[in-house]
Structure 1
Amino acid sequence: MQRISTLRVSPLCLGGNVFGWTADTAMSERILDAFCDGGGNFVDTADSYSAWVPGHPGGESESAIGVWLRQGGNRDRVVIATKAGKHPVHRGLRPANLRICLDGSRRRLGVETIDLYYAHKDDPGVPVAEWVGAFDTMIKAGAIRHYGLSNFTAERVAEVIEVATGEGLALPVALQPHYNLVHRAEVETSGLAELAQQHHLAVVPYYGLAAGFLTGKYARDELMHGPRAGQAKTYATEQGFATLDALFAVAEESGADPATVALAWLRQQPGVVAPIASVSDVDQLPALLASTTFKLTRGQVNRLSRASAGL
């Protein structure tokens, strides 16, 4: 197990973005059961999942997880992370809005306390002291245990830490950036990685498998199809496919699935506590769980890092 402040979490975080979308409620329950049975305990969702689907208002993922929690008495099996600030009706980090979002998430999940509550997106229009103060109040009230920052720049993370420290408010404990083998610069060259290490912030990166690109789901010169193809196309550059070639080579020599290798590479980067990855079918889960114990050699890590340098 890894640690995020007082939380003990598995070195893989199960992404809930597909729950209630490409995985219906029944499949979501099967995936969650298999994840926990395989040693996982860390689940990530958001109040906005899956509002991008026509006819979905948002909250579908939290609701699916909530059904699983209630039906199986599973609350003690998992550490739950969810997020606020990007719901299509309740956007932004105004304290009043955050209270509405918190109440909605707790109701859908059926929990009194959320373990890790992220600001899903920065909101420069609200003074930092105001929304950090709202998170501080939630912690003191027992509604959440800790808070984190998702999709924040290094400059804004530094400002949050400065304001929280100066005002005597609770500090964030985790960062959730976009980070994977074919999307590295946002974390590695922006100062975010250094800030995380300096302030002991756990890095819990999303798109750990690059929306399926790093599984080998998409091939060169092949038209990309599927609900997540739009995001995957952003990685489909010549260097992206060259990185995929290197990934396949390491996977073949290791006797491991490419998804296992890609997540292991990410988990072995400085500051990373638990990459986030999701599956739409329970059969896809073993390759992800295998990454929690699979260790790449230094040479293999270097080969993959060289292939993806600059991405």
Structure 2
Amino acid sequence: MKTVKLGKSGLKSAPIIFGGNVFGWTLDEKKSFKMLDELFERGFTTIDTADVYSRWADGVSHGTSERIIGKWMKERKLRDKITLITKGGSGLQPGGPKDNSRDYLTGTVKDSLLRLQTDYIDLYFTHFDDEETPVEEALEAYQKFMTSGEIKHIGASNFSAERLQKSITVAAEKDLPAYEVFQPEYNLMVRDKFEGKIKKICSENNLGVIPYFSLASGFLTGKYRTKEDLEGKDRKMFTEKFLNQRGEKVLKSLDQISEKHNISQAGVALAWLIKRPGVSAPIASATKSSHLKSFSEAIEVSLSKEDMEILNKASETE
């Protein structure tokens, strides 16, 4: 499979990164192992996770996604063949205070290394910004781990343009490690969190960009078109907000182009992201083997200029 560069980090990835939030949440350990095996066989060897993935799921213990990935890599003896991404700094409760203090991040990195059963993490993200903590404090925490080789590269996620730029500036001024990859929420339904100032900063500083929620929590698969379609679904809280006139336009455009190319709506939505300026590789998840077909479709399809214009126009905000 062809690979793409993640900015100036030197890291390479398949054109789609697998989102490990499903491990320990919608997939138990046995099913997670099966999915990981298939991903590896298909050439998708970059895995994105976080210390909080599965922590907030009912009845699931803290760090379950990392623990499953770590156990799988150890049993399969594949650590050196996986590009491993994880994150810290989210704090203890969903929606609660974030914590990027030196002491907190030092603890989260050590805990992640233990759960992942590895002596190094390829790419470690500050998951959310903590505006009460100076940006250099997080970078200073990472510097020790990078000196020891326990973290190879660092990235930022969910930062404002101002704080991302400040982090880059301070890193240069104080000779600290600099963020090399940015992870925004970005898809056909959510464009404003990346396009604009953030995109400009990433471009000017050659940051890799790996968007999450690439399929808008499943909305862009076309499965959820009414409130009834979402009843009893795990992702209802993330997806219900897209059931509006703009959402209908986007789904209609996906239907049109998926029919034209004879591929799934998810394949079209991922292909749109792959082709968007500034994007290195989108992050996407799957819970069934059949879902991975859309990954291959997205990589293989060639969307025309007209296809992209149809999708761009449908997803414009007024």
TM over 0.5: yes
1:104 aligned to which of 106, 111, 125: 111
2:314 is aligned to 307
Partners of 2:76 and 2:151 in 1: CA distance: 22
1:220 is aligned to 226
Contact 1:36–1:77 under 8 Å retained in 2? no
2:165 is aligned to 158
1:192 is aligned to 198
Partners of 1:237 and 1:203 in 2: CA distance: 28
1:174 aligned to which of 169, 181, 200: 181
Offset of residue 180 of structure 1: 0.3
What secondary structure, in the 3-state scheme, does the structure 2 residue paired with 1:188 have? Answer: coil
1:291 is aligned to 298
Between 42-51 and 130-139, report the one with greater CA deviation. Answer: 130-139
Superposition pairs of residues 206-285 of structure 1, within 5 angstroms: 206-220=212-226, 222-225=228-231, 226-285=233-292
What secondary structure, in the 3-state scheme, does the structure 2 residue paired with 1:274 have? Answer: coil
Matching of residue 79 in structure 1 with residue 78 in structure 2: no
Amino acid at match of 2:163: R
Structure 1: unaligned runs, 5 residues or longer: none
Contact 1:177–1:204 under 8 Å retained in 2? yes
Contact 2:5–2:12 under 8 Å retained in 1? yes
Over 3 Å counting, the alpha-carbon distance change for 1:15 and 1:250 in structure 2 is same
What secondary structure, in the 3-state scheme, does the structure 2 residue paired with 1:17 have? Answer: helix
- Alignment TM-score, normalising by the size of structure 2: 0.94
Partners of 2:236 and 2:31 in 1: CA distance: 21
Superposition pairs of residues 52-131 of structure 1, within 5 angstroms: 52-88=56-92, 91-131=98-138
Matching of residue 137 in structure 1 with residue 144 in structure 2: yes
Offset of residue 205 of structure 1: 0.3
Offset of residue 87 of structure 1: 4.4
Offset of residue 91 of structure 1: 4.9
Offset of residue 293 of structure 1: 2.7
Offset of residue 223 of structure 1: 4.7
Matching of residue 49 in structure 1 with residue 49 in structure 2: no
Between 144-153 and 278-287, report the one with greater CA deviation. Answer: 278-287
Contact 1:12–1:289 under 8 Å retained in 2? no
1:29 aligned to which of 9, 30, 33: 33
Q: How big is each residue's C-alpha offset from its partner over 1:129-164, in whole Å with a ceiling of 9 and x where there is no partner?
A: 111111122211101100000111111110100110
Offset of residue 58 of structure 1: 2.2
Partners of 1:15 and 1:254 in 2: CA distance: 26
Contact 2:223–2:229 under 8 Å retained in 1? no
Partners of 1:66 and 1:32 in 2: CA distance: 11
1:2 is aligned to 4
Amino acid at match of 2:236: A
Q: How big is each residue's C-alpha offset from its partner over 1:252-298, in whole Å with a ceiling of 9 and x where there is no partner?
A: 00111111110000111111111011111222112123312322111
Partners of 2:13 and 2:227 in 1: CA distance: 40
Offset of residue 176 of structure 1: 0.5
Structure 2: unaligned runs, 5 residues or longer: none
Offset of residue 249 of structure 1: 0.6
2:42 aligned to which of 30, 35, 38: 38
Over 3 Å counting, the alpha-carbon distance change for 1:289 and 1:33 in structure 2 is farther
1:202 is aligned to 208
Q: CA RMSD of the aligned region, Å?
A: 1.5
What secondary structure, in the 3-state scheme, does the structure 1 residue paired with 2:194 have? Answer: helix
Contact 2:227–2:243 under 8 Å retained in 1? no
Offset of residue 220 of structure 1: 3.3
Contact 2:98–2:129 under 8 Å retained in 1? no
| Residues matched between the structures, number | 310
What secondary structure, in the 3-state scheme, does the structure 1 residue paired with 2:60 have? Answer: coil
Partners of 1:301 and 1:29 in 2: CA distance: 36
Q: What is the percent sequence identity of the aligned residues?
A: 35
- Alignment TM-score, normalising by the size of structure 1: 0.96
Partners of 1:158 and 1:235 in 2: CA distance: 31
